[in-house]
Amino acid sequence: MYPIVRKEKLADKIYLMDVMAPRVAKSCLPGQFIIVKMDEEGERIPLTICDYDREKGTVTIVFQTVGYSTTRMAEYKEGDSFMDFVGPLGCPSELCEEENLEETRKKKIVFIAGGVGTAPVYPQVKWLKEHGVDVDVIMGSRTKDLLFYVDEMKAVAGNLYVTTDDGSFGFHGVGTAQLEELVNGGNHYDHCVAIGPMIMMKFVCVLTKKLNIPTVVSMNPIMVDGTGMCGACRLVVGDEVKFACVDGPEFDGHLVDFDQAMKRQQQYKTEEGRAMLKLQEGDTHHGGCGHCGGDK
């Protein structure tokens, strides 16, 4: 069992948990992810690693309640335990590998974090700061209430630019607009890392292609085992089929087929909706989910 030693509500529907998982904490690096399974009946849920404490043996995860399983997960409290917690999975971020440091130090780097994508961006920026690399970070959300980790990010970023779509905090507009403004204002970037919803990563890539800035994205497709066995997470990168769990999760954003990746993410939408309905209606559930036959 893997106990939750800290739980915090970071913003509306966004939660943070520190989970005791010494083997994962000992070996994980920024860019990698874990898979959590709540209990016997639970799904295997992949989540990127937001932070880790090798001494305490804890790993920090941040998640947003979007469907049945994440909503159920948000009900877990400090002191509760997850049945399974496995990782680290996937390849570490190339920027955060010691052997690449000399190259990395020469580059002017910008990170763009969208929504809950702030969570996986944070450990990379923190790692780079610890290794003497200051990077610019643009972090955005729909509105002020959904922002989190602003102070934490400020502490590790070179320059931090916060954006909200509705203008309730910081720059009024989306991350790409902020990037365009920075570039137009004379800032030059050699490398961009974009992490967030697929649609946001897609638009960042459209822009950076135009601006000629090489861009890395972190893909979060549907997965089952996460160890290179089931092939659910396959995506087209350039002309090749890649598996996000062993080849990724980071890929050259200019080569990713986002339209197909977004379609693949819809694959279990109906099933997910049914499960959600069952959860919301609880004992009052009398069919409509298409599964139980309660309406027949």
| Footprint on this chain of other proteins (rule: CB under 8 A) | 23-24, 26-27, 32, 37, 41-44, 68-69, 72, 83-89, 224-225, 227-232, 234-236, 241, 243, 246, 260, 263-264, 266-268, 271-272, 275, 291-292
Least CB distance from residue 262 to other proteins, whole Å? Answer: 9
| Minimum distance, C-beta of residue 205 to other proteins, in the bound complex (Å) | 19
210, 254 Cβ separation under 8 angstroms: no
Q: How far is the CB of 133 from other proteins (least distance, A)?
A: 25
How far is the C-alpha of 278 from the C-alpha of 269, rounded, in Å? 14
Joined together, the tokens standing for residue 261 give 């990746």
For residues 62 and 10, the answer to whether their CB atoms sit within 8 Å is yes
Q: Which is nearer to other proteins, 41 or 98 (CB)?
A: 41
When the beta carbons of 18 and 136 are compared against other proteins, the nearer one is 18
Answer for the pair 34, 47: CB distance below 8 angstroms, yes or no: yes
CB of 70 to other proteins, least distance (A): 11
Nearer to other proteins, 183 or 230 (CB): 230
Q: Report in angstroms how near the CB of residue 17 gets to other proteins at its nearest.
A: 17
What are the CA-CA distances from residue 85 to residues 21, 226, 233, 265, 285 (Å)? 7, 12, 19, 23, 31
Question: Which residue, 14 or 244, has its beta carbon nearer to other proteins?
Answer: 244
In the complex with other proteins, which residue's Cβ is closer, 145 or 271? 271
68 or 203: whose CB is closer to other proteins? 68
Q: Are 93 and 251 in contact (CB under 8 A)?
A: no
Q: From the CB of 35, what's the least distance to other proteins, in Å?
A: 9
Asked if residue 35 lies in contact with residue 226, where contact means CB atoms within 8 angstroms, the answer is yes
Question: Cα–Cα distance between 172 and 177 in angstroms, integer?
Answer: 9
Q: Least separation, in Å, of the C-beta of 189 and other proteins?
A: 31
Nearer to other proteins, 44 or 108 (CB): 44
Beta-carbon count within 10 A of 97 CB = 15
Closest CA to 61 of 69, 72, 71, 73: 73
User: According to DSSP H, which parts of the chain are helical?
Assistant: 22-27, 68-74, 101-106, 118-130, 150-156, 175-184, 198-211, 244-247, 258-265, 269-281
Smallest gap, in angstroms, from Cβ of residue 96 to other proteins?
Answer: 16
Nearest C-alpha neighbor of 70 from the set 13, 143, 8: 13
Nearer to other proteins by Cβ, of 49 and 192: the residue is 49
CA distance 242 to 27: 24
